[in-house]
Amino acid sequence: MRLLLTSAGVSNPSIRDALVDLLGRPIAGSTALCIPTATYGSSYGGPASAWSFITGESPLPMCDLGWKSLGVLELTALPSVGEDRWVPWVREADVLLVGGGDPLYLCHWMRQSGLADLLPSLQDKVWVGLSAGSMVMTPRIGDDFVGWTSPGGDDSTLGVVDFSIFPHLGLLPDNTMAAAERWAAEIAGPAYAIDDQTAVKVADGTVEVVSEGQWKRFPS
């Protein structure tokens, strides 16, 4: 699976170019499924934010990029649908657009739905994460970002990549570089602090930062 892990979506031409490179074709020729699930687990999210993400009314560019087709994959519904129906939907899409919200809630439903187990077989897919949609692919998120309590009671996520992500650097009063440095010390593993003009691109084992803004890598 090829990954574009963003803080705020496809927010500038450099990140858009990275997306097209991962797709291997124009956006207008690519089919997408968007996953709004994370927003329901966040105290800042809910039906309105899910609607704005899906419809492209959000200021965070993801679903409004001009896709050939766009569908909605709601993870909480998948266990009642059955894998014989939803797995083909995922396999037929070129890209999964995964919205923000609570990363632990998203991780829980990725596991409950079966999507997490399917990921290793999706070698030809592109995953575009926005905030929580990016953090869920890391080993852990750090105590600073724990909101919804997972059944395991910890901050662990899927570990598809071997680094953690501190998103929205500089956007909020608590998201300073000093805060990111404290967070990285607690994470005690490879990590990136990225602002809303930055993404981390992962393809064929190579990690590349794509940025028109501010970021910092914290080694393990």
Give the start-to-end residue ranges of the domains of the chain. 2-218
Quote the tokens at residue 104.
């632990």
Q: What DSSP string describes 16-58?
A: HHHHHHHHTS-GGG-EEEEE-GGGGGSTT-SHHHHHHHHHT-S
Average pLDDT over residues 102-117: 97
pLDDT above 90: residue 188: no
Q: Which amino acid type is present at position 124?
A: D
> What is the three-class DSSP state of 128?
strand
The fold of the 2-218 domain, in CATH, is Rossmann fold (3.40.50)
What is the separation of C-alpha 46 from the centre of its chain, rounded to a whole number of angstroms?
A: 17
The reported pLDDT for the residue numbered 47 is: 92
The reported pLDDT for the residue numbered 21 is: 98
How distant, in Å, are the alpha carbons of 35, 129, 199 from that of 166?
21, 13, 11
In whole angstroms, give the CA distance from residue 166 to residue 80. 34
List Cβ neighbours of 54 (8 Å cut-off, separation of 6 or more). 34, 36, 63, 72
pLDDT above 90: residue 216: yes
Q: Please report which confidence band the pLDDT of residue 220 belongs to, taking 50, 70 and 90 as the band edges.
A: confident
**What angle is formed at CA 75 by the lines to CA 74 and CA 77, rounded to 5 degrees?**
75
In whole angstroms, give the CA distance from residue 181 to residue 175. 10
- Mind listing the pLDDT tens digit for each residue in 145-181? 999 999 989 999 999 999 999 999 999 888 999 999 9
The reported pLDDT for the residue numbered 181 is: 96
pLDDT above 90: residue 72: yes
pLDDT above 90: residue 113: yes
In whole angstroms, give the CA distance from residue 39 to residue 10. 18
**Range of weakest confidence among 28-32, 146-150, 215-219:** 146-150
Rg of the chain on CA atoms, in Å:
16
The reported pLDDT for the residue numbered 43 is: 85
Q: Which amino acid type is present at position 151?
A: P
Of 126, 86, 132, 128, the residue nearest 106 (C-alpha): 132
